[in-house]
């Protein structure tokens, strides 16, 4: 996945570096006879390049869906998108002349920064998280983890049928009240909010430990061989359940991380497009 | 050994049967298609377990990590006999007695209970969060588009609507403000249209000149040569919204672009050398010095002359005799009250923040020492510092009055005399001296004058009085004009044919030596005057004591200077400094504006 960073031997990295350094040098050298700002000849040049870059960067969203296009590869486009997008940060900053305020111009700049930094984060997730995700799941798919939990649940319920009522109710409640996923924050935090009911009291059941703890307590009390084996097996099943749930929680979290940034990156980019239009038009309306 | 596998598949209320016979004693159980007992369920492993048949029963052996449910227990291996049931992920496998030549019948009852997948019970997918990029993108785009562009634009189209917008919490054009206005422009507030009068058109000079009526242009029209490209737009140099204190903190490149070449001031017939940097490339200072306009060797007026300071023959002709050296003698100088040590500031008092010096006058600066006394008997009596005619008249009146007083000697106790005793001279009069000197005084008048007076008066007493007074006044005038007070400082001329023969040549001191630069003494208070002005070595009033550029360059450097005060052109030179030329307006067409100008440069 990280191949987009080293695409064509870092061709676009070199282009971006050259562009940034070259224009920065001109910025330092040029003396417009007034405080440096976006309204000097060099300011207009930087502004034009930046505006064209923004439109082009946003066109990537269209290009990546254009499966029949022969205009470069999507990987090449992504590589250029990342590196030229990074250089935009420098060009647009130079365009501001380091003058900021509470106005539509700085709004456009701020939105651009959010879009770029969310893009940086996105590039990082695309490089780093797929590896983490695979390491977490090991060799099987998330679907299989879900199925194994189902299977375990069924087995537990069967095994727990002839246990004392309080215990079998507790086990049922532990299965019923297992929590995974949820809203955005819950998915992101991967926090285990599972709980169980034992003797009409609600207890936390983080990592199934509440349930296992109660079962172990029960196990220490039984004298019957058959019951002991039964309890051990249920404990073992809850152990498997816990393992799968933990892996799935992490899986859900990485999934959110991989996708959420784009939900910031894209809408903010469109807000930037509107702010950019306002910026350019307002400057020339009040020339 | 022969084994029969019987699959029971639910079909409506009953079960459909499907049988497979296997020869051998082992049955593979799993999801894989190579398995004998095929359980098409992802929860079951590809090779989950195997069933090994013996004569008297069977044995179940699971693959590593797998187990089956037997007798309500999870087991890895177990022996099963006829009638026993094992369960794998809900699928039941029952061992039955053999029939039709088979040793055993293995009945497989596939579970059809379709449970809702566990992931459907929870929100575990990103898509479950219902965060749609497209809708959020539209919302954000339209929000910014309306708030930052469309609504303010509607105000630009309709100014009255803009007023409503500004008064309401709705977004207006204030958000378009690219930077704070400079302090003097703050009063404009949020009324952008005061300067930005037409959309998509740069701010015009007319907008600036609405307020800045009296601003002058850098170069008068008469000076504009063909190759001169005038800076025509105010906004070419003055850029607003740059968050600065002033609009004129600009690079000297703006100046250097033109002044890299020497320029000619046609009006004053003076050529300015080229200048690009105060330290590296700047000509000698040019001063504007007053020069008397002479008619028949008499000064009739004054003219300003532009001269280079590095001219060694530079002499000021002010018609004043004055030695700085003498007045600055550290030992002191005689005054009416004894020896005094004069400081520069005793005469040169800064005005206008040190941009100029207050005018030096006889009354304010000289008279405390240089008293215009004329009669040794009456040392407190002085003549006015005015025209010779006034001086002579005053002395005539004085001596006439004094004669009358002397003849009232016998009536000193008379209250009328006492009432008029305004003159201390009576007390200091030395008896007999007047009589003795009378003849000498009268000799100063020629016989015609005496005869004329006698003829005029006819009466001896009057004659005597007039001759006395006139002769004393005449003698005192000769003393004061030619020997004592006036001649000390002034250039005197004498024409015997005139009624008052003495004339004082008019005096004019140059008030502003460097009118093209704004030098302030205020900012140089840490210096002593003589550090720059070599007044203590100047014996003649014709010496020009304005220092040249080398003196300034001891402390002030060019823009790039590291160890000197870096200075740019406009630190000293005012771009809009010109005599009468208003920006882009010909003077003859703008007399009414000219009349608004309160200050004229004194050259």
Residue appearing with tokens 């000849």: A41
Nearest to B133 among A104, A229, A267 (CB): A267
Whether B575 is in a domain gets the answer: no
ipTM at complex level: 0.91
For residues B514 and B499, membership in a common domain is answered with: no
| Residues B328 and B343: beta-carbon distance below 8 Å | no
Measure the CA–CA gap between B106 and B27, rounded to whole angstroms: 9
Helices and strands (H, E) in chain B, number of each type: 20, 24
State pTM to two decimals: 0.69
Number of other CB atoms surrounding residue A171 within 10 Å: 25
Please tell me whether residues B335 and B423 are part of one structural domain: no
End-to-end CA, chain A: 47
CB contact under 8 A, B118 and A149: yes
Are B513 and B523 in contact by the 8 Å Cβ rule? The answer is: no
- Restricting to A residues 231-270, those with a Cβ less than 8 Å away from any Cβ of B are 233, 236-237, 248, 252, 255-256, 259-260, 262-263, 266-270
Answer whether residue B226 is part of any domain.
no
- Tell the residue number behind the tokens 């797929």, with chain if given: A130
CA-to-CA separations, A241 to A156, B267, B472, B507, in angstroms, rounded: 10, 100, 137, 113
Kind of pairing between the strands at B14-23 and B2-11: antiparallel
List CB contacts (< 8 A) between B131 and chain A: 184, 260, 263
- Give yes or no for B586 touching A (CB within 8 A): no
Identify the domain boundary among B209, B243, B258: B209
CA distance B51 to B95: 10
B348 and B414 share one domain: no
Residues B69, B33 share a domain: yes
Number of domains within chain B: 4
Tokens matching residue B484: 């004592």
pLDDT digits (tens, 9 = 90+) for B195-227: 888 888 888 888 888 888 877 777 665 555 555
The answer to the question of residue B69 being in a domain is yes
Domain final residue, candidates B89, B116, B143: B116
Question: Is residue B157 less than 8 Å (CB to CB) from chain A?
Answer: no
B196: contact with A, CB 8 A cutoff: yes
The pLDDT value given to residue A62: 86
HSE-CB for B525 with a 13 A CA cutoff: 8
Tens-place pLDDT, residues A84-110: 999 999 999 999 989 898 999 999 999
Which pLDDT belongs to residue B583? 45
In a domain, B279, yes or no: no
Stretches where chain B sits below pLDDT 70 are: 113-115, 219-232, 243, 245-251, 266-268, 408-443, 453-461, 577-603
Closest-CA residue in chain B for A163? B72
> What is the residue whose two structure tokens read 């377990």?
B49
Q: How far is CA A17 from CA A5, A84, A208, in A?
A: 14, 9, 52
B133/A contact by beta carbon, under 8 A: yes
Relative to beta strand B263-265, strand B270-272 is: antiparallel
pLDDT of residue B437: 57
Does B162 share its domain with B197? yes
DSSP B318-348: -SB---HHHHT-TT-EEETTEEE---HHHH-
Least confident of A235-249, A267-281, B287-301, B433-447: B433-447
Contacts of B192 in chain A (CB under 8 A): 286
A148 in contact with B, Cβ within 8 Å: yes
For B487, the enclosing helix (H) or strand (E) is helix B485-489
Minimal Cα distance from B151: which residue of A?
A278
Contacting residues of B for A99, CB less than 8 Å apart: 178-179, 242-243
Could you say which of B87, B116, B145 is where a domain stops? Answer: B116
Distance to chain A for B258, nearest Cα, Å = 13
Q: Do B122 and A179 touch (CB under 8 A)?
A: yes
A281 and B153: CB-CB below 8 Å?
yes
- Residue B42 has its nearest CB partner, among A147, A161, A230, at A147
Q: Is residue B596 part of a domain?
A: no
Q: What confidence score (pLDDT) does residue B440 get?
A: 65
CATH number at residue B108: 2.60.200.20
Same domain, B182 and B156: yes
Q: Tell if the CB–CB gap between A35 and B239 is shorter than 8 Å.
A: yes
A-contacting residues in B 312-331 (Cβ below 8 Å)? none
Query: Is A168 touching B (CB cutoff 8 A)?
Result: no
Collect all residues of chain B within an 8 Å Cβ-Cβ radius of residue A101.
Answer: 177-180, 243
Other residues' Cβ atoms within 10 Å of the Cβ of residue B397:
12
Is residue B350 situated within a structural domain?
yes
CB-based contact A103 B175, cutoff 8 Å = yes
- Write down the mean pLDDT value for chain A: 90
- The DSSP secondary-structure symbol of B527 reads S
**Which residue among B175, B196, B253 sits closest to A287, beta carbon to beta carbon?**
B196
State which residue of chain B sits closest to A34, comparing Cα positions.
B250
Q: Tell me the C-alpha to C-alpha distance, in Å, between residue B583 and each of B238, B246, B544.
A: 14, 20, 35
In a domain, B30, yes or no: yes
Q: Given pLDDT bands bounded at 50, 70 and 90, which one contains residue A83?
A: very high
Cβ distance B508 to B603 under 8 Å?
A: no
pLDDT for the residue B584 = 44
Residues B392 and B328 occupy one common structural domain: no
A180 has a chain B CB within 8 A of its CB: yes
- Report if residue B263 sits inside a domain: no
Which pLDDT value is given to residue B223?
54
Each residue's pLDDT tens digit, A122-153: 999 998 999 999 999 988 888 889 888 888 88
Q: Which residue of chain B comes nearest to A259, CA vs CA?
A: B126
CB contact under 8 A, A182 and B173: no
Is A274 in Cβ contact with B148 (below 8 Å)?
Answer: yes
Host domain of residue B495: 388-504
pLDDT at A87: 94
Task: Flag whether residue B46 sits within 8 Å of chain A, measured between CB atoms.
Answer: no
Is the Cβ pair B177, A101 closer than 8 Å? yes
Band of residue A113 on the pLDDT scale cut at 50, 70, 90: very high
Size of interface A-B (CB pairs under 8 A): 179
Looking at the structure, do residues B97 and B47 belong to the same domain, yes or no?
A: yes
Interchain pair B149, A182: CB under 8 A: no
Residues B98, B65 share a domain:
yes
Closest Cα to residue B568, out of B338, B278, B320, B319?
A: B278
């Amino acid at each position: 996945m990280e191949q987009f960073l080293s695409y064509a031997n870092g061709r676009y990295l070199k282009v971006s570096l050259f562009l940034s350094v070259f224009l920065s040098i001109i910025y330092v050298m040029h003396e417009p006879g007034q405080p440096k700002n976006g309204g000097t000849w060099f300011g207009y040049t930087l502004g034009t390049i930046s505006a064209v870059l923004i439109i082009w960067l946003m066109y990537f969203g269209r290009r990546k869906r254009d499966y029949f296009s022969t205009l470069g590869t999507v990987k090449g486009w992504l590589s250029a998108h990342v590196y030229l997008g990074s250089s935009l940060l420098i060009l647009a900053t130079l365009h501001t002349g380091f003058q900021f305020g509470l106005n539509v111009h700085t709004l456009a700049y701020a939105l651009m920064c959010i879009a770029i930094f969310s893009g940086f984060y996105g590039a990082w997730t695309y490089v780093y998280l797929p590896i983490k995700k695979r390491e977490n799941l090991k060799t099987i798919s998330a679907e299989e983890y879900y199925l194994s939990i189902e299977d375990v649940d069924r087995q537990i319920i069967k095994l727990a049928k002839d246990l004392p009522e309080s215990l079998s109710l507790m086990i049922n409640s532990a299965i019923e009240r297992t929590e995974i996923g949820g809203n955005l924050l819950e998915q992101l935090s991967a926090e285990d909010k599972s709980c169980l009911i034992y003797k009409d009291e609600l207890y936390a059941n983080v990592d199934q430990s509440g349930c296992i703890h109660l079962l172990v307590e029960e196990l220490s009390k039984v004298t019957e061989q058959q019951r002991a084996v039964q309890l051990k097996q249920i404990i073992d099943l809850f152990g498997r359940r816990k393992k799968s749930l933990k892996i799935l929680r992490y899986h859900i979290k990485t999934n959110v991380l991989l996708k959420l940034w784009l939900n910031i990156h894209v809408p903010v980019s469109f807000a930037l497009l509107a702010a950019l239009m306002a910026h350019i038009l307002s400057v020339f309306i009040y020339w | 050994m022969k084994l029969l596998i019987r699959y029971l598949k639910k079909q409506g209320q009953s079960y459909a049967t499907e049988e497979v016979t296997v020869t051998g004693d082992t049955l593979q159980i799993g999801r894989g298609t190579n398995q004998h007992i095929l359980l098409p369920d992802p929860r079951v492993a590809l090779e989950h377990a195997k069933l090994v048949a013996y004569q008297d029963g069977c044995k179940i052996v699971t693959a590593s990590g797998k187990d089956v449910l037997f007798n309500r227990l999870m087991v890895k291996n177990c022996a099963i006999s006829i009638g026993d049931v094992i369960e794998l992920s809900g699928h039941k496998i029952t061992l039955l007695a053999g029939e039709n030549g088979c040793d055993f019948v293995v009945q497989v009852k596939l579970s059809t209970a379709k449970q809702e997948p566990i992931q459907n019970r929870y929100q575990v997918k990103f898509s479950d969060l219902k965060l749609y990029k497209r809708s959020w993108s539209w919302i954000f785009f339209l929000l910014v588009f309306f708030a930052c562009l469309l609504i303010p634009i509607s105000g630009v189209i309709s100014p009255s609507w803009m007023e409503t917008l500004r008064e309401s919490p709705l977004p207006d054009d204030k958000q378009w403000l690219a930077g704070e206005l400079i302090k003097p422009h703050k009063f404009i507030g949020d009324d952008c249209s005061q300067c930005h009068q037409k959309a998509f058109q740069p701010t015009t000079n007319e907008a600036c000149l609405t307020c800045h009526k009296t601003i002058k242009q850098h170069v008068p029209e008469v000076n504009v040569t063909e190759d001169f490209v005038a800076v025509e737009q105010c906004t070419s140099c003055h850029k607003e919204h740059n968050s600065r204190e002033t609009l004129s903190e600009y690079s000297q490149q703006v100046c250097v672009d033109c002044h890299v070449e020497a320029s000619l001031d046609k009006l004053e017939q003076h050529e300015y050398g080229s200048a690009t940097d105060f330290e590296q490339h700047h000509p000698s200072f040019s001063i504007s010095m007053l020069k008397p306009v002479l008619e028949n060797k008499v000064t009739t007026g004054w003219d300003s002359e532009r001269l280079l300071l590095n001219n060694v023959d530079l002499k000021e002709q002010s018609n004043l005799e004055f030695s700085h050296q003498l007045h600055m003698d550290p030992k002191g100088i005689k005054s009416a009250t004894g020896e005094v040590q004069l400081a520069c500031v005793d005469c040169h008092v800064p005005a206008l923040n040190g941009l100029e010096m207050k005018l030096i006058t006889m009354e304010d600066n000289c008279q405390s020492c240089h008293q215009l006394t004329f009669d040794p008997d009456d040392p407190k009596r002085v003549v006015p510092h005015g025209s010779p005619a006034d001086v002579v008249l005053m002395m005539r009146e004085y001596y006439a009055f004094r004669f009358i007083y002397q003849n009232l000697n016998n009536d000193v106790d008379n209250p009328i005399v006492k009432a008029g005793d305004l003159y201390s001279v009576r007390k200091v009069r030395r008896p007999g001296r007047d009589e003795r000197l009378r003849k000498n005084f009268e000799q100063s008048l020629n016989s015609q004058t005496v005869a004329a007076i006698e003829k005029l008066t006819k009466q001896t007493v009057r004659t005597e009085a007039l001759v006395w007074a006139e002769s004393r006044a005449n003698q005192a005038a000769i003393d004061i004009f030619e020997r004592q007070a006036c001649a000390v400082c002034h250039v005197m001329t004498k024409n015997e044919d005139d009624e008052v023969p003495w004339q004082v040549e008019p005096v004019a001191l140059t008030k502003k030596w460097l009118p093209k630069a704004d030098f302030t003494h205020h900012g140089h208070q840490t210096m002593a005057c003589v550090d720059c002005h070599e007044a203590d070595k100047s014996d003649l009033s014709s010496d020009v004591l304005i220092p040249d550029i080398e003196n300034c360059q001891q402390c002030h450097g060019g823009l790039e200077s590291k160890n000197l005060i870096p200075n740019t052109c406009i630190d000293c030179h005012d771009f809009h400094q010109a005599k009468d030329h208003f920006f882009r307006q010909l003077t003859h067409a703008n007399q009414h504006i000219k009349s608004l100008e309160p200050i004229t440069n004194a050259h």
